Amino acid sequence: MSECVFCKIVAGEGEASVVHRGGSVMAFLDINPINQGHVLVVPHIHYERFSNVDVPVLGEMMHVAQRVLQAIETSKIACDGANIFLSDGEVAGQEVPHTHLHIAPRFKEDGHRMGFSGIHLGGASRESLNGTAKLIADAMKR
Ligand code: AMP
């Protein structure tokens, strides 16, 4: 049996507070929410990384994320906005190696901050930005 905590939930062998079960994804509450209504959208298949997710599944993940957020917005859960995010890889803060989208409702003065350290690459000239754009665009053609 898989050791993955999300695979166990998908298989019905792990406890979860489920908000949606669909064709290829499910959505359940994060066990350690940053605010009420913090939901995870999780594909049934154990894709460890974002890059591996099949496009139709990716589409369903995004669609379910939107529906979950729309539902939260019409509920009595405090939600003036939301952070929808995915941490890909340990270095990016991914703790559960089964890719998943977070939908984290936010409200004014909820005490949270999201974002990076504030350190930016200094002096990104147009030349250097164009060089980086070419690296990625060329790789996308392969
Ligand atoms: P990440 O850092 O993006 O991998 O996020 C993993 C998230 O999964 C964290 O916010 C955890 O609180 C959440 N989590 C871990 N185990 C469970 C579980 N059994 N049920 C629900 N959420 C979980």
- pLDDT at residue 123 in the model: 75
| 1, pLDDT greater than 80 | no
100 included as an active-site residue:
yes
- pLDDT at residue 12 in the model: 96
Q: What is the mean pLDDT of residues 58-67?
A: 98
Q: Kindly report, residue by residue over 39-60, the tens digit of the pLDDT.
A: 999 999 999 999 999 999 999 9
| 121, pLDDT greater than 90 | no
Distance 142 CA to ligand 1 centre (A): 35
Distance 78 CA to ligand 1 centre (A): 21
Lining ligand 1 with CB less than 6 A are: 5, 14, 16, 30-32, 40, 87, 93-96
| 131, pLDDT greater than 80 | yes
Atom of ligand 1 nearest to the CA of 94: 4
CA 78 to centroid of chain Cα atoms:
20
Neighbouring residues of 135: CB distance < 8 A, sequence distance ≥ 6: none
Average pLDDT, the chain: 95
Confirm whether pTM is higher than 0.75.
yes
- pLDDT at residue 118 in the model: 83
| 73, pLDDT greater than 80 | yes
**Rounded to an integer, what distance in angstroms lies between the CA atom of residue 31 and that of residue 78?**
18
| 116, pLDDT greater than 90 | no
Q: What is the mean pLDDT of residues 9-14?
A: 96
**Rounded to an integer, what distance in angstroms lies between the CA atom of residue 92 and that of residue 48?**
13
Q: What is the mean pLDDT of residues 89-108?
A: 97
Distance 80 CA to ligand 1 centre (A): 23
Give the closest residue (by CA) to ligand 1 atom 12. 32
Token pair of 95 as six digits: 């703790």
Q: Is 90 left (phi over 0), alpha (psi -120 to 50) or beta?
A: alpha
